[in-house]
Amino acid sequence: MIEKNELQYVASLARLKLREEDEEKVREKFSMVLDYVGMLNELDIEDVEPLISINEVSNVMREDEIRESMSRETLLANAPDKMYGCIKVSKIIE
């Protein structure tokens, strides 16, 4: 089973916080899934190339043209907090 501090570290990387009462249950589910996917270790796949893109395409390019974008008002409509036409968050510099 994954160690408690290891799970807390993973959560912090993902910017998540586990409620103390949930920790055991999450550890159990997490470990169960990890054990299950460990099934892949049965396979000898040293020489297989990883499949990164299903249709094996890469770097789809287009001309860099100037186009109309959405208005500031439209883009800010869903912002949880705003001020002076900008998105507002708490202070990050002293």
Residues forming contacts to another protein in the complex (CB under 8 A) are 7, 10-11, 13-18, 22, 26, 29-30, 32-34, 36-41, 43, 45, 48-55, 57, 60, 62, 70, 74-75, 77-81, 87, 89-90, 92
- Ordered DSSP codes for 14-55: TT----GGGHHHHHHHHHHHHHHHGGGGGS--TTPPP--STT
Output the CA angle 62-66-69, nearest 5 degrees: 105
Output the smallest distance, CB 61 to another protein, in A.
9
CB atoms within 10 A of CB 76: 13
Output the smallest distance, CB 84 to another protein, in A.
16
Closer to another protein by Cβ: residue 5 or 90: 90
Output the smallest distance, CB 19 to another protein, in A.
8
